[in-house]
Amino acid sequence: MDSSAVVGSTISEPHSDMEFESHEAAYAFYKEYAKSAGFGTAKLSSRRSRASKEFIDAKFSCIRYGNKQQSDDAINPRPSPKIGCKASMHVKRRQDGKWYVYSFVKEHNHELLPAQAHFFRSHRSSDPLSNDVRMRRRKNSNAVSKLFTAYQNVDCLENFVKHQHDKGRSLVLEAGHAHLLLELFMHMQEENPKFFYAVDLNEEHRLRNVFWVDAKGLEDFTYFSDVVSFDTTYFTSKYKIPLVMFIGVNHHIQPTLLGCALIADETIYTFAWLLQTWLIAMGERAPQVLLTDQNEAIKAAVAAFLPGTRHCFCLWHILEMIPKQLEFFGAWHDSFLEKFNNCIYKSWTEEQFDKKWWELVDDFNLRDVDWVQSLYDDRTCWAPTFMKDISFAGLSTSSRSESLNSLFDNYIQIDTSLRAFIEQYRMILEDRHEEEAKANFDAWHETPDLKSPSPFEKQMLSVYTHEIFRKFQVEVLGAAACHLKKENDGVTSAYTVKDFENNQNYMVEWNTSTSDICCSCHLFEYKGYLCRHAIVVLQMSGVFSIPPKYILQRWTNAAMSRHPIGEKLEEVQSKVRRFNDLCRRAIILGEEGSLSQESYYMALGAISEALKQCANLNNSVENGMRPDASSTHVVCNVEEEYHSIITSKNKVPDPKPNTGKKAVRSGMAGRSLGSVENSEGNKGKFALFVL
């Protein structure tokens, strides 16, 4: 990155005409320049004269200069910021004692952060007052008080303290673990200033609760805030670490970590503080749906701080509680479960649910069991019958082993210590990021195979991510094993669908005027895509495309677009095609641009200019203004090329990229982003170069 783009006018760039009284003065200048530009510094090397023993040579660099090396400390390896940056300043001493700039490299291979420069270790001591503990504590107090102005009413937390001893509870940590936790937070925040953490101290100023979330978690919540799971399994199951987590799911059906906390207890106060703090970290944006355990303290905290959020209970938690709460059943357990499942899974209406529920309760004499009564009182929070207007995106399953939450069990065992978890935490983040990057790469390079002539399958091929498409594909193929019977006619038609694969009957309602469709299997509500029973009803009703309202943007290749995909299917498909096309071309550009420093800067400049022109063009269109003439000219030229590529593609059935020897050239010189010559030298163009 070019540092001249961000350096203010008061700090000039180093140049050969500069003179300094000493190498320390030269380094002080370089530090000021670095702080203004937005990077940290280090003294790379220095050399003394053999005769006079005085310094005659010194080199200063960006803190990311050089390559990462393995730390000698295998137990507590220090994190290294080195990524091969070349930015540096080399100074030498003249005969007259003055120092001059011998060489200067200003280009960086990473982002510069002028607004967060004070976080770099080399700049922390630039302000003399910052070394004073009392001043630093006062500044921290001011920052904390500013943070807590986001609370509507700080005192309201006191209303949740039912017992006086609640205030005195604290985290039970082993010696030195609090320091390890603080070190983790400092390192994470130094690597990325967007890292967020907060602590809650009791009246004795001891640590009671602590919360943190990394920058990737904050970004993921921006795109996948529709449903969040608040998992307290490790705390309630008496694991060694009192860990609770906020978990989301991305467009590849992969879990995302939206926050972690260590808590002292399960009081309303603790959950109120935690939800309030998490809400602040997420920029005061509440999720549409929050999944939790059935817990009265959590229920009260959610009602107080997330009033606009639909609070639901994890289905697997309800089912796992049955043997614990009704352990006196013994031999009747299997019989109870059969009728219980029939009630919750096969009740099409609320009236049917009520009838089956009370029959179940009376059959097993459960009217006096408080937990059973609480289940009925909270039925709208967990029973599938009442979940027709939401989607859990796969986060609510019938068993924990099937849930995305269980993936974190690979890193956390019942005896995992806080020290071990801190080491595992970075691995969790790295593994999550790597898996997402691989899924994105596959989405740009591969296209799933069609397994049927179904128009529904063809429709969603280029819209859904690979993982969702394959699951949807199973439903499309499964529709062949379904037979439907129309129960009534009208604007809203009801069908009974016999699924021969599992030998079950399902009810499907289809409204032709509103394009609303609902199935008693509740696949859309729990997974986020239509089931085979709904597909066969659409097909028999003469509808051969999925209604747009049942195509969730979170499952599409455009999930992370800042613009909604819209209601028209053609717009969705067109946008996804453009997105995938640009991603593939960007990878090709990345390969060509990385071959030399010169081609790298050329590619970087082209990307920057293209990004600026696209932003200006889109802003002009959104504001109803006429686009700039030069931008319009570029768009027209590219559009002509794009249409010629598409036309050529349509003329040539099933085009394949050349794999012959003529296509392999040293350095891949002359490779086109939008075309490729075949082995016979044919000038026809294909739409994409498949890697």
Question: How confident is residue 125, by pLDDT bands cut at 50, 70 and 90?
Answer: low
Q: Which of 1-15, 164-178, 504-518, 645-659 has the highest mean pLDDT?
A: 504-518
pLDDT, tens digit, for every residue of 254-300? 999 999 999 999 999 999 999 999 999 999 999 999 999 999 999 99
Q: Which DSSP symbol is given to 542?
A: T
pLDDT, tens digit, for every residue of 134-186? 343 344 434 333 344 333 344 455 555 555 445 557 788 777 888 888 888 98
Tell me how far apart the alpha carbons of residues 569 and 469 are, in angstroms, rounded to a whole number: 16
Average pLDDT over residues 497-508: 93
Q: Which of 267-281, 317-331, 382-396, 566-580 has the highest mean pLDDT?
A: 267-281
Tell me how far apart the alpha carbons of residues 40 and 118 are, in angstroms, rounded to a whole number: 9
What was the pLDDT predicted at 327? Answer: 77
pLDDT, tens digit, for every residue of 105-122? 989 988 787 876 776 777
Tell me how far apart the alpha carbons of residues 400 and 591 are, in angstroms, rounded to a whole number: 43
Q: Is the pLDDT of residue 459 over 70?
A: yes
What was the pLDDT predicted at 394? Answer: 86
What was the pLDDT predicted at 358? Answer: 95
* Better pLDDT: 177 or 57: 57
What was the pLDDT predicted at 391? Answer: 86
Average pLDDT over residues 398-408: 75
Q: Is 182 exposed, middle or buried (0-12, 13-18, 19+ CB in 10 A)?
A: middle
What was the pLDDT predicted at 219? Answer: 94
What was the pLDDT predicted at 5? Answer: 39
Q: Which DSSP symbol is given to 201?
A: E
Q: Is the pLDDT of residue 92 over 80?
A: yes
Average pLDDT over residues 358-363: 92
Average pLDDT over residues 473-480: 96
| Helix (H) / strand (E) containing 116 | none
pLDDT, tens digit, for every residue of 579-600? 777 887 888 888 888 888 888 9
Q: Is the pLDDT of residue 636 over 80?
A: no
What was the pLDDT predicted at 100? Answer: 94
In whole angstroms, how far apart are CA 246 and each of 71, 232, 278, 292?
33, 9, 9, 10
Ranges of each domain in the chain: 18-68+78-122, 176-314+389-433, 315-381, 444-555, 575-606
Bridge partners for 495 per DSSP:
486, 508
Among 77-91, 158-172, 491-505, 621-635, the minimum mean pLDDT is found in 621-635
Q: Which of 199, 579, 519 is nearest to 348 (CA)?
A: 519
Q: How far apart are the first and last CA of the chain?
A: 28
What was the pLDDT predicted at 283? Answer: 92
Q: Which of 133-142, 565-574, 641-650 has the highest mean pLDDT?
A: 565-574
Helix (H, G, I), strand (E, B) or coil at 322: helix
What was the pLDDT predicted at 336? Answer: 87
Tell me how far apart the alpha carbons of residues 687 and 575 are, in angstroms, rounded to a whole number: 16
Tell me how far apart the alpha carbons of residues 680 and 51 are, in angstroms, rounded to a whole number: 71
Question: Taking all residues of the chain, what is their mean pLDDT, rounded to a whole number?
Answer: 79
What was the pLDDT predicted at 570? Answer: 65
Tell me how far apart the alpha carbons of residues 48 and 375 are, in angstroms, rounded to a whole number: 79
What was the pLDDT predicted at 590? Answer: 85
